[in-house]
Structure 1
């Protein structure tokens, strides 16, 4: 935890799945409201942010899930998820890991939480023996893209994915560990 921050990071367990599902949906809504249709956001969150997914990710030996909590009361305000890569547009190998998710609620912007989550993800990936971290980010999310580039990530590909009625473009980034 940062000396100036009122949050802390902890490794998530299956018991954190419901909290992670909630904060994941809130972060997705904050990020994509006004970009995607509301009905599509709700349907996507119900499917992609189901507690079972977070439970499975937390229990997977080849990945890590970290939750960021407010120090006073332990309310979740952000998280990161490392998994085996699922990026068909890029060739991957056994030493690769995907930063599938890294989000914070807007109340945490400027507190150092994003860089702390990234630093922990990099530490965890190296601890798992990984040599390269990959991630996909919405091409129109300039804030996130600038953050990843500042962390040293470089573009290695592109992909498209469907969220309801909207076909979204992603940029795929990689960082050698």
Structure 2
């Protein structure tokens, strides 16, 4: 990827984007979660398995309310995000939307592209009449937490364990009004 991004485009993801999304997800996980997630779990990540999962998600997205977007720049996919109704039992899915995923290739970090993806997901949830947006983040992921805090999210006190490989890591929930 070139040092300078000349043009970035965000578009709705389609089932044919599953392989690209899977590659971005695995590469991002391996960089972002190094030191947080056991190395064996990061090494075990499979683009093929994630591709199959993303094909199902993108194919059935309309039925579940899930929408996904791909960010492309200079003819290359650099990131993606997905969002839809909250999956949390303590919130009303008609009023609360959730950012399910947002990942960028490590070379694209710090360029404002994550904010563009987040803005796209927020605007979509607001158009669907959600009044609030939530996101779960690994408690130890200080880079992501700082990003959400700078974007107007605050911790709401909810915690849970996230299944990662054979173990579980603590996650905290962030929330903001739309």
TM range (shorter): 0.7 to 0.9
The residue that corresponds to 2:127 in the other structure is 127
Aligned-pair distance for 1:155? 1.3
Contact 1:81–1:99 (CA<8 Å) still a contact in 2?
yes
Give the distance between the partners of 2:82 and 2:115, measured in 1 at CA. Answer: 14
TM-score, structure 1 normalization? 0.85
Q: How many residues align?
A: 170
CA distance in 2, matches of 1:105, 1:116: 14
Greater alpha carbon shift after TM alignment, 30-39 vs 20-29: 30-39
| TM-fit CA distance, 1:68 | 1.3
CA distance in 1, matches of 2:98, 2:53: 15
Indicate the residue corresponding to 1:19 in structure 2.
Answer: 20
Partner of 1:118: 118
2:104 is equivalent to residue 101 of structure 1 = no
- 5+ residue gaps in structure 2? none
CA distance in 2, matches of 1:49, 1:134: 27
**Which sits farther off after the overlay, 53-62 or 113-122?**
53-62
Q: Distance in 2 between matches of 1:148 and 1:166?
A: 25
Q: Which runs of 4+ in 1 moved over 4 A?
A: none
